[in-house]
Amino acid sequence: EAGSGVEWDKETLLEKDRQYLWHHITPHNPNPMIGVSGEGSWLTDIDGNRYFDGMSGLWCVNVGHGREEIAQAAAEQMKTLAYFPPYHSHVPGIRLAEKVNEWLEGGYRIFFSNSGSDANEVAFKIARQYHHQNGEPTRFKFISRHRAYHGNSMGALGATGQANRKTKYEPLGTGFQHIAPPYCYRCPFGQKEGDCRMQCAEAYEDVINWEGAETVAAVIMEPVITGGGVIVPPENYMKRVREICDKYGVLMIVDEVICGFGRSGQRFGHQNFGVRPDIVTMAKGITSAYSPLSATAVREDMYEVFKKGGDSHFRHVNTFGGNPASCAVALKNIEILEREQLVERSASLGESLRGKLEALKDHPLVGDIRTFGLIAGIELVEDKQSKAPAAPDKLAHVISECKKRGLLIGKNGDTVPGFNNVLTLSPPFVTTEEELDFIVLTLGEALAGLLVPAEGA
């Protein structure tokens, strides 16, 4: 079709890309991959090269690429009703709210937005307003963690605990305090794994007291810090934080943007830890990224204080929030997850991946391997004794060697000064055992390249 761009060759596309497009994270990348198609767990670029999508895009294409029935669901909804303002209702929105509540095991109200960042902004605003209307208007602070990522907007970035993402944009949304993450490999409290008093969780009580409980609105946490380096907490960490929150009337916001919708091996990450959050935020996996959508789920009884009319309204609207086609896509995506039992499959693939990754643990530069559901982080060090974080060029080498062999993997971004040393994996739930073998074998080959002595050495 003339004008569609399909007729352009690669050089023309790259020329126009360099001329017009502003990329995310690396705006001046002169040689971006140009993806053209996807099927299952595999992507094809403009040169016809095939790659295994070891990160499911950005931790999101959970049901895999090329799902015809999702495209159909979007097309049908767009033909039937493209748009309806979100202060009214529509059929896919109603059905999806019921379904999300069911996946959360009941008891929540669902507010739809467009992105993970949006969902967290909504959570912060609801938490503050809730306290206001409950007669505690001084509760405005949020406690988050260093290394966490909660989004790119001024509030969500305020909650984010990765210094290099924040400098140059400050001042951000204020009122965000950060505490040390539950990082057992490098315990911030100097304890040995399995032999600690979980000071990482107890720290919440200290911070709440030091700040003054009457000023603290909520804590926000991912069940497992994902993009910040796959930091898996001790088993009872979330439960202990929940207890502390209850003791001080502090709300618990759980960011399930990555962990939600099966990535953790359960429907939601927090379900692995036996806690009930007050607010749950979700995005990515809700549509497997076929269309933008996010949600903020709020405890039913909290919703009561917003129902009284007038001043109690939550005066927040965004035009595209809960877009009908996105809701239809989410419903089809969840139907696929249920029909193909992909949450169970994510759990068993995750177990299998954990076992297979053992093969890499004796590599001299592999400091720690951490997994959670179908998420893995491989922390590279200069040597196992000192645990000095591996230099960024070593990670770049592994990533590029994997790519040469047809495997796309990720790493925690260039965001935590001195600690950009965790390779990440988050493959689609439709990955096969053979493909897991391919991932581990390829990683092994790429890591082996780090041991070749430099010429002349």
Q: Which is closer to ligand PMP, CB of 279 or CB of 366?
A: 279
Strand 176-179 with 141-145, pairing: parallel
Give the shortest CB-225-to-ligand PMP separation in angstroms. Answer: 8
Q: Are 380 and 422 in contact (CB under 8 A)?
A: yes
- Closest residue by beta carbon to ligand PMP: 116
Q: Shortest Cβ distance from residue 159 to ligand PMP (Å)?
A: 9
**Listed residue (413, 392, 412, 417) closest to 163, CA to CA:** 417
Report CA-CA distances (Å) from 73 to 89, 261, 294, 373: 18, 19, 18, 29
Closest approach, Cβ 168 to ligand PMP, in A, equals 19
| Residue (257 or 408) nearer to ligand PMP, CB | 257
Of 222 and 435, the one with the shorter C-beta distance to ligand PMP is: 222
Q: State the minimum distance, in angstroms, from the CB of residue 297 to ligand PMP.
A: 14
Name the residue nearer to ligand PMP (CB basis): 92 or 116. Answer: 116
CB 333 → ligand PMP: shortest distance, Å? 16
Give which of 335, 418, 431, 330 is closest to 376, Cα–Cα: 431
The residues, any chain, with a CB within 8 Å of residue 236's CB and separated by 6 or more, are 198, 201, 273
Nearer to ligand PMP (CB atom), residue 73 or residue 156: 156
Least distance between ligand PMP and beta carbon 136 (Å): 27
Q: How far is the CB of 260 from ligand PMP (least distance, A)?
A: 9
Of residues 118 and 368, the one with the C-beta less far from ligand PMP: 118
> In this complex, which beta carbon is closest to ligand PMP, that of residue 271 or of residue 442?
271
> Rounded to the nearest whole angstrom, what is the least distance from the CB of residue 112 to ligand PMP in the complex?
13
What is the number of alpha carbons within 13 Å of residue 187 lying toward its C-beta? Answer: 16
Q: Least distance in Å: CB of 330 to ligand PMP?
A: 14
| Separation CA 254–CA 288 (nearest Å) | 19
* Of 92 and 151, CB closest to ligand PMP: 151
Nearer CB in complex with ligand PMP: 156/366: 156
298 versus 446: smaller Cβ distance to ligand PMP: 298
Give me the residues that bind ligand PMP (CB under 6 A), please.
Answer: 58, 115-117, 120, 149-152, 222, 226-227, 255, 257-258, 283
Which residue, 104 or 440, is less far from ligand PMP as judged by CB? 104
Question: Cβ of residue 116: shortest distance to ligand PMP, in angstroms?
Answer: 2
What is the nearest approach in angstroms of ligand PMP to the Cβ of residue 152? Answer: 6
